[in-house]
């Protein structure tokens, strides 16, 4: 997956200033400086990109009028651009090819119809109250998405991204049964600690460590890996409860039976479980994470409500974009009829590979730039079970099982915990070649394969009790044709599309450093709204 990584903002920020103080003066100097700035004792938080929404007074004070803007696409970027411009009274119209808003932010519920390119159609049969987030499904606390949820009154709940009781399953390493994350971590941390403590104690790191460093490192490793003392060679034995229990501790003399047998160091390395750990260290994947109560589409719903449904023309597919000396002209088709909309400015938020198919007069460089990003494949299947067996039988309340099977991950629902009712498990959420493989199948075949693969982890019951299911292959979604895009590099093409081309602006997560996150779309929309508004104010 070629997903962009956020890099530090260049230039002088409060954060880089403090980092420099920290580098030269040590933690004490940094803390003192923070105190002087009024920042201590709370820990440093990253600076958010400042944003001031356009206000009606911006116009009344300068004697200028709000412009007319046509927004292409009612995904998160398009809706946000319209919402923010609307705050100052801009005359905004959104053209959306689909009959719904949200773009890739889509929650599937009973009664929904899901049609793929080629015509295959699923009539979603989830029971009342059950749903799957087919697109975005998790939000990190630092993301701008959280700020929009607060502003729009969208209630949030915890999304369980990592769970010690969910599983890791690496079939190619010869595993015949899944391992709980907690067990995998106990063994990997334990053996790594044993090795490092031994090497440290035997002097292998004397070039790097003082005698005090060595003692402190060994005391850390003893706690981190739950290893024995020097007399026992710092051995990892896996005998404390970290691995989990085969008989839980209970009353009276039931002290519990620690899960065994403990695999050897060599077996643990061969299992590859440790290679899974780093995902939850990432800035955008670390717990706590959040989801809107009732489905991710509460966000576009609230945005559309705030914008006003009258300003959103659904079923309207853009067929031509013409930049004019003053303004823009957009042609679109609705119900087989071509209409024209003229405006002062256009904000195009469609995916770049879709825009590249629409005739325009923006020039060969723009066309080449739009054709540069590469769409990437991703897909999911939702399995509604009549019984929450993952909770009742396996003690897994939310979280994700990670595998090397082509299903890649299994997600347990982060709502309705312990309700004893139904629940929708995501039976695969995968990327790249794995997603392509499922995308090429009919829904019935996707379901069959997902159940066959998942049964390797959860056993026969996984095949039983599925009340209904729905699958999405994002490369096969009309007007979208991809999960997200990857830039081969953020070169001249990226820079070009981040600038207005005449009266046409581009916006979307694909023009951000958080591709494949709503955060990227929100930030990109704010950037373009700010630039457009400043231009209108200058006249």
What are the residues binding ligand PHE (CB under 6 A)? 3, 138, 516-517
Is the Cβ of residue 6 or residue 19 nearer to ligand PHE in the bound state? Answer: 6
Pairing of strands 68-72, 345-348: parallel
Q: Closest separation between CB of residue 100 and ligand PHE, Å?
A: 21
Q: Closest separation between CB of residue 517 and ligand PHE, Å?
A: 5
Q: Closest separation between CB of residue 296 and ligand PHE, Å?
A: 11
Asked if residue 412 lies in contact with residue 397, where contact means CB atoms within 8 angstroms, the answer is yes
Distance CA 456, CA 407 (A): 11
Is the Cβ of residue 90 or residue 517 nearer to ligand PHE in the bound state? Answer: 517
Is the Cβ of residue 362 or residue 516 nearer to ligand PHE in the bound state? Answer: 516
Q: Closest separation between CB of residue 466 and ligand PHE, Å?
A: 24
Return the number of other C-beta atoms located less than 10 Å from residue 364's C-beta.
7
Distance CA 410, CA 450 (A): 10
Is the Cβ of residue 505 or residue 517 nearer to ligand PHE in the bound state? Answer: 517
Is the Cβ of residue 3 or residue 39 nearer to ligand PHE in the bound state? Answer: 3
CA angle 391/394/398 to nearest 5° reads 45
Instruction: Find residue 412's DSSP bridge partners.
Output: 399
Is the Cβ of residue 429 or residue 505 nearer to ligand PHE in the bound state? Answer: 429
Q: Closest separation between CB of residue 497 and ligand PHE, Å?
A: 21
Token pair of 460, please?
């026969």
Give CA separation, 292 vs 27, 128, 148, in Å: 38, 17, 11
Is the Cβ of residue 31 or residue 494 nearer to ligand PHE in the bound state? Answer: 494
Is the Cβ of residue 106 or residue 138 nearer to ligand PHE in the bound state? Answer: 138
Give CA separation, 315 vs 135, 301, 357, in Å: 20, 17, 18
Token pair of 477, please?
């979604």
SS3 at position 266: helix
Element (H, E) at 107: strand 107-109
Distance CA 347, CA 327 (A): 12
Closest CA to 534 of 53, 108, 154: 53
Is the Cβ of residue 312 or residue 516 nearer to ligand PHE in the bound state? Answer: 516
Is the Cβ of residue 57 or residue 278 nearer to ligand PHE in the bound state? Answer: 278
Return the number of other C-beta atoms located less than 10 Å from residue 537's C-beta.
14
CA angle 64/69/74 to nearest 5° reads 145
The values of phi and psi at residue 446, to 5°, are -60, -45
Q: Closest separation between CB of residue 435 and ligand PHE, Å?
A: 12
Return the number of other C-beta atoms located less than 10 Å from residue 219's C-beta.
11
Is the Cβ of residue 304 or residue 516 nearer to ligand PHE in the bound state? Answer: 516
- Residue nearest ligand PHE, CB atom distance: 516
SS3 at position 233: coil
Closest CA to 403 of 247, 505, 276: 276
Distance CA 507, CA 515 (A): 12
Q: Closest separation between CB of residue 138 and ligand PHE, Å?
A: 5
Q: Closest separation between CB of residue 289 and ligand PHE, Å?
A: 9
Judged on CB neighbours under 10 Å (0-12, 13-18, 19+), 506 is buried
Is the Cβ of residue 439 or residue 516 nearer to ligand PHE in the bound state? Answer: 516
Is the Cβ of residue 179 or residue 426 nearer to ligand PHE in the bound state? Answer: 426
Q: Closest separation between CB of residue 161 and ligand PHE, Å?
A: 8
Q: Closest separation between CB of residue 314 and ligand PHE, Å?
A: 26
Q: Closest separation between CB of residue 286 and ligand PHE, Å?
A: 12
Token pair of 428, please?
């695969």
Alpha carbon of residue 189 to chain centroid = 27
Give CA separation, 401 vs 68, 168, 409, 427, in Å: 49, 6, 6, 10
Distance CA 360, CA 356 (A): 9
Tokens 């392509």 identify what position? 436
Q: Closest separation between CB of residue 257 and ligand PHE, Å?
A: 37
């Amino acid at each position: 997956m070629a997903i962009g990584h956020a890099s530090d903002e260049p230039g002088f920020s409060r954060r880089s200033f403090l980092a420099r103080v920290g580098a030269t003066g040590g933690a004490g100097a940094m803390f003192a400086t923070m105190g002087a700035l009024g920042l201590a004792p709370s820990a440093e938080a990253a600076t958010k990109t400042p944003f001031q929404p356009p206000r009606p007074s911006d116009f009344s004070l300068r004697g200028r009028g709000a412009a007319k803007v046509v927004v292409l696409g009612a995904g998160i970027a398009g809706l946000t651009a319209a919402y923010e411009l609307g705050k100052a009274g801009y005359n905004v119209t959104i053209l959306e090819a689909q009959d719904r808003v949200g773009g890739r932010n889509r929650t599937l519920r009973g009664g929904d119809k899901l049609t793929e390119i080629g015509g295959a159609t699923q009539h979603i049969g989830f029971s009342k109250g059950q749903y799957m987030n087919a697109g975005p499904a998790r939000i990190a606390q630092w993301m701008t998405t959280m700020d929009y949820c607060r502003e729009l009154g969208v209630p949030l709940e915890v999304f369980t991204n990592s769970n010690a009781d969910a599983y890791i399953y690496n079939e190619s390493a010869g595993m015949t049964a899944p391992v709980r994350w907690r067990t995998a971590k106990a063994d990997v941390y334990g053996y790594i600690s044993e090795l490092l403590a031994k090497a440290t104690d035997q002097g292998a790191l004397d070039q790097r460590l003082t005698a005090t460093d060595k003692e402190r490192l060994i005391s850390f490793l003893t706690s981190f890996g739950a290893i024995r003392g020097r007399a026992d060679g710092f051995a990892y034995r896996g005998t404390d409860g970290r691995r989990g229990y085969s008989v839980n501790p209970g009353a009276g003399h039931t002290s519990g039976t620690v899960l065994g047998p403990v695999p050897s160091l060599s077996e643990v390395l061969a299992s590859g479980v440790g290679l899974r750990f780093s995902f939850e260290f990432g800035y955008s994947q670390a717990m706590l994470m959040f989801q809107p109560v009732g489905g991710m589409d509460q966000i576009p719903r609230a945005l559309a409500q705030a914008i006003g449904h009258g300003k959103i023309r659904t079923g309207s597919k853009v067929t031509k974009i013409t930049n004019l000396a003053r303004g823009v002209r957009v042609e679109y088709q609705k119900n087989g009829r071509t209409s024209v909309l003229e405006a002062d400015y256009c904000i195009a938020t469609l995916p770049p590979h879709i825009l590249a198919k629409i005739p325009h007069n923006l020039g060969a460089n723009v066309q080449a730039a739009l054709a540069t990003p590469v769409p990437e494949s991703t897909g999911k299947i939702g399995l509604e079970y009549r019984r929450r067996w993952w909770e009742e039988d396996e003690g897994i309340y939310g979280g994700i099982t990670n595998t090397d099977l082509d299903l890649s991950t299994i997600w347990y629902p982060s709502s309705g915990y312990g309700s004893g009712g139904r629940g929708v498990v995501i039976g695969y959420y995968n990327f790249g070649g794995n997603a392509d493989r499922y995308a090429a199948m009919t829904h019935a075949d996707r379901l069959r394969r997902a159940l066959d693969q998942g049964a390797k982890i959860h056993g026969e019951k996984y095949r039983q009790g599925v009340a209904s299911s729905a699958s999405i292959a994002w490369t096969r979604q009309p007007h979208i044709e991809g999960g997200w895009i990857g830039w081969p590099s953020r070169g001249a093409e990226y820079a070009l599309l981040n600038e207005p081309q005449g009266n046409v602006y581009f916006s979307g997560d694909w023009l951000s450093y958080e591709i494949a996150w709503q955060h990227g779309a929100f930030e990109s929309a704010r950037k373009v709204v700010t630039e457009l508004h400043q231009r209108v104010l200058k006249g």
